Amino acid sequence: MTQILKTGKELDALREKLKKQRESVKQTITICGGTGCHGYGCQKVIDAFRQELASRKLEKEVELRVSGCHGFCERGPLALLAPSGIFYQRIDVADVPAIIEKTVMKGELIDKLLYVLEDGKKAAHEKEVPFYARQNRLVFANNQRINADSIEDYIAVGGYAALPKALAMKPEAVIDEVKKAGLRGRGGGGFPTGRKWETVRKAQPGEKRYVICNADEGDPGAYMDRSLLEGNPHSVIEGMVIGAYAIGANEGYIYVRNEYPLAVKNARIALDKAREMGLIGKNILGSGFDFDIIISRGGGAFVCGESTALMASLEGKIGEPRAKYIHTAEYGLWNKPSCLNNVETWANVPMIINNGSEWYSKIGTATSKGTKIFSVVGKIKNTGLVEVPMGVKLREIIFDMGGGIPNGKKFKAVQTGGPSGGCIPESLLDLPVDFDELTKAGSMMGSGGLIVMDENTCMVDIARYFTEFLSEESCGKCVPCREGVRHMLEILNRICKGEGKAGDVELLEEMSEAITDASLCALGGTAPNPVLSTIRYFRNEYDAHILEKRCPAGACKALINYSVIDKNCTGCTACARVCPTQAAVATDKPAQGAIKGKVNPKLKMHKIIDEKCIRCNMCFEACKYDAVQIK
Amino acid sequence: MMLIPENEVLKQELKGVAERYDNKRSALMPMLQMVQSRHSRISEFAMQVIADMLDIHPVEVHGVVSFYSFLNSEPKGRFIIRLCRTISCSMQNKDRVARQLENDLGIEFGQTTGDGKFTLEWTNCLGHCDEGPALLVNDKIHVKLTPEKVHDILEECRSTFGLHAAQKKEGGNH
């Protein structure tokens, strides 16, 4: 039977009870049930644990918890043992009996499941792993302590503690606290959250108002909002209830992308549970304050992440943005004052109320407070989510936590801020990451996606990719974005095909200026950023494509040829076997390359027939003797 | 059991959703999504019914259907496969997976197989950038794809087309 909570005291009592229950269990095994680990087969590991515990009759003493994403998706499936704090990675079903037998029952470590540090030593605890050690997990902290389906877990670890505290305060005081904390919107723009709340509260007195959670996380390379909503939906809900109380709203929406089925499911379960317990709904905790949340699924349009387009979509209209001189804080959803914040922003709110603005404002830099979650993806060793205080250097994120570039390749650039951001070259890696510094470098914070590129990534191709993305996702309402971006894409396509003309770069720059100035919304206004920033830092690559018809990174298919280096070819036939178009074939000549120091002249040297080659790169990857070259 | 024409069933279902939103326009997206998920397309008949219920012009409904990529008026396959074409998936050999899909299904992106079972489409970021390439089969996500895995995924889909499933489908179309 679910208990309906009528006062804050009842909530506290329940928390104490749940805490005791948690403590009475001698040991817990927390397994990451994030989608990343699912990809590695964590479900089988979970089932194996369950079986093993049942067969040893340990179910009462050892609790098995399936949590949300731990962030270190590269090394899944992951398990965290409490209270010992032992951290195991890359667990296989076959390891399960040993973990129970040795670690859980005897406290012994299993060597092969430990994370190996760079110096060859092994790390037994999470905090010894560099990926975790450098992070400051505040928003993400609970992701690995709770089961996403369980409101009890969230309450036990201190969840919904901020809610009664906020409800006991005056709404203005709540806004003041958020203002003093210096929280800024995590969705990209970085607008001060407290100021937004204040505007919404004061706008159109007496009218209905709304709070909205923007979970339409469309930036390529960013997925922290998905992880939060999947792993700890209650933190977002709690933030929204507090926000709604502060601005005086009784109705809220969570707008989730259709591409995130699990986030929709978990958020829905969380809302039902919160409603059952009286944490949303009528007369929340006896305060007389009513508030409920509806989940709304998007239709697969990137532009709906823009605030006005999102509201149009909620109203059942086409997701087209409108001009920004009318602020949504004053005239938003159904022309009523609306407070729209991103998932991560909402999840920050309970923390501020719990610990106070003074505590919060000590984290971060002068103008950007708190922590920010980044998703580090692309050509990097440890892909995953990292939460760091604002002001950390990009170099630290990429090289210390991310572990640098794999396969001994050289770092070239990092794209921050998704399609509205820009590429940052190596020379600027010591830039502290905060809202203002990144804007100065010609990029932006965006939602926090970091796409790392190595020497084999062509910067013109990257600019082309983002421009293509934006030209497809342009809603088509205003001409500069609809037509301008399309024309920029045509120019970039031409350059990548080796048909670039002198003056193309200048033309791109000129068009960018017009698009930036004349577009209606931020999507169009920032659309030229990827092109502008790559021109700014990698002009030489554009010139190589246009003037020399050459792709220095060897990525643009029209500008490269595959060939065999005769003296390296051993005649092993690996390239011929993988080639899908029979472009890699044997010749009559004997092979010259040596296998294990021996040349076998019976084997035939291979060649690549250029007319048949589709530049799929399979032969290059298949060749073990560096005999295939790209020129 | 009484036989009710399919169109009537659809009307009843839609009515339920519309009422939950007080027959306001904000019901439009949930109604469309419901029709889409049950019938894998939004027919002109459904659009007209929705327009009548919400008291808006059918053209507006059609406009919304054509704007969002997850809604479609033309029939699509039973399984809609959406491969992520984001840059991070591209960096992890998305092209090879794409080619495998095209070869196995014998169609190109944007097309539906002749038997109406599969539709192949591109999608933008699925938010699994750390474990790409990723694809979505209807509501189910698959990550860390390789050409070999493509085969398994397609087989898994095909296996739901047993004799029983086929009979049920024919029965519904009388």
Per-residue pLDDT of A132-174, as tens digits, reads: 888 888 888 888 888 888 899 999 999 999 999 999 999 999 9
Q: From the CA of A613, how many Å to the nearest CA of chain B?
A: 15
User: What pLDDT shows up at residue A438?
Assistant: 84
Q: How many CB pairs under 8 A join A and B?
A: 139
With an 8 Å Cβ cutoff, are A299 and B129 in contact? Answer: no
pLDDT at B171 over 50: no
User: What pLDDT shows up at residue A4?
Assistant: 86
Q: What is the percent of chain B with per-residue pLDDT over 90, rounded to a whole number? A: 44
The length of chain B is: 174
Higher per-residue confidence, A299 vs A36 = A299
With an 8 Å Cβ cutoff, are B96 and A618 in contact? Answer: yes
Mutate to test the interface with A, among B53, B66, B87 (most CBs of A within 10 A): B87
- Mean pLDDT (chain A) is 90
Residue A1 banded pLDDT, cuts 50, 70, 90: low
User: What pLDDT shows up at residue B93?
Assistant: 85
| Percentages of chain A per state (helix, strand, coil), in multiples of 5 | 45, 15, 40
Enumerate residues 3 to 62 of chain B having a beta carbon within 8 A of any beta carbon in chain A. 24-30, 32-33, 54, 60
Instruction: Tell me if A421 sits within 8 A of A439, measured CB to CB.
Output: no
Arithmetic mean of pLDDT, A198-218: 93
Arithmetic mean of pLDDT, A225-237: 92
Token code pair at residue A220? 């390529």
Higher per-residue confidence, B172 vs A493 = A493
With an 8 Å Cβ cutoff, are B64 and A298 in contact? Answer: no
pTM of the entire structure? Answer: 0.89
User: What pLDDT shows up at residue B2?
Assistant: 66
Q: From the CA of A468, how many Å to the nearest CA of chain B?
A: 11
pLDDT at B164 over 80: no
CB atoms within 10 A of CB A573: 16
Domains of chain A, start order: 8-135 (3.40.30.10), 151-361 (3.40.50.11540), 371-454 (3.10.20.600), 468-553 (1.20.1440.230), 561-630 (3.30.70.3270)
Instruction: Tell me if A357 sits within 8 A of A177, measured CB to CB.
Output: yes
The tens digit of pLDDT for each residue in B5-20 reads: 888 888 888 998 998 8
Q: What is the ipTM of this complex?
A: 0.86
pLDDT at A254 over 90: yes
pLDDT at A130 over 60: yes
Query: Is B72 in CB contact (< 8 Å) with chain A?
Result: no
| Euclidean distance between CA atoms A279 and A243, whole angstroms | 14
The tens digit of pLDDT for each residue in B123-160 reads: 888 888 888 899 999 888 888 899 889 999 999 888 88
| Euclidean distance between CA atoms B140 and A35, whole angstroms | 11
Mutate to test the interface with B, among A259, A407, A464 (most CBs of B within 10 A): A259
Residue A275 banded pLDDT, cuts 50, 70, 90: very high
Residue A398 DSSP symbol: I
User: Which residue among A39, A226, A466 sits closest to B131, beta carbon to beta carbon?
Assistant: A39
User: What pLDDT shows up at residue A370?
Assistant: 92
User: What pLDDT shows up at residue B162?
Assistant: 61
User: What pLDDT shows up at residue A389?
Assistant: 92
Q: Is B107 left (phi over 0), alpha (psi -120 to 50) or beta?
A: beta
pLDDT at B4 over 90: no
User: What pLDDT shows up at residue B163?
Assistant: 54
pLDDT at A197 over 90: yes
Residue B165 banded pLDDT, cuts 50, 70, 90: low
Residue B125 DSSP symbol: -
User: What pLDDT shows up at residue A143?
Assistant: 83
Q: How many CA atoms lie within 13 A of A247 on its CB side?
A: 36
Instruction: Tell me if B65 sits within 8 A of B47, measured CB to CB.
Output: yes
pLDDT at A83 over 50: yes
User: What pLDDT shows up at residue B172?
Assistant: 39
The tens digit of pLDDT for each residue in A431-465 reads: 888 888 888 887 788 888 899 999 889 999 999 99
pLDDT at A74 over 90: no
Coil vs helix vs strand at B114: coil
Residue B1 banded pLDDT, cuts 50, 70, 90: low
Domains of chain B, start order: 6-67 (1.10.10), 79-163 (3.40.30.10)
Q: Which residues contact B28 (CB under 8 A, 6 or more apart)?
A: A316, A317, B50, B54, B56, B61, B64
Residue A369 DSSP symbol: B
Arithmetic mean of pLDDT, B39-53: 91
pLDDT at B170 over 50: no
User: What pLDDT shows up at residue A192?
Assistant: 94
| Euclidean distance between CA atoms A297 and B71, whole angstroms | 12
Q: By CA distance, what is A225's nearest residue in B?
A: B127
Q: Write out chain B residues lying below 8 Å of A301, CB-based.
A: 67-69
Arithmetic mean of pLDDT, A353-368: 92
Residue A367: Cβ-neighbour burial (10 angstroms; 0-12, 13-18, 19+): middle
Closest by Cα among A337, A351, A448 to A390: A448
Arithmetic mean of pLDDT, A174-195: 92
Residue A283 banded pLDDT, cuts 50, 70, 90: very high
Arithmetic mean of pLDDT, A589-597: 84
Q: Write out chain A residues lying below 8 Å of B60, CB-based.
A: 317
Token code pair at residue A354? 């719990």
Q: How far is CA A114 from CA A89, A91, A110, A282, A486, in A?
A: 6, 10, 7, 49, 50
| Euclidean distance between CA atoms A343 and A266, whole angstroms | 14
Q: By CA distance, what is B137's nearest residue in A?
A: A259
| Euclidean distance between CA atoms A493 and A500, whole angstroms | 9
Q: How many CA atoms lie within 13 A of A40 on its CB side?
A: 25
Residue B174 banded pLDDT, cuts 50, 70, 90: very low
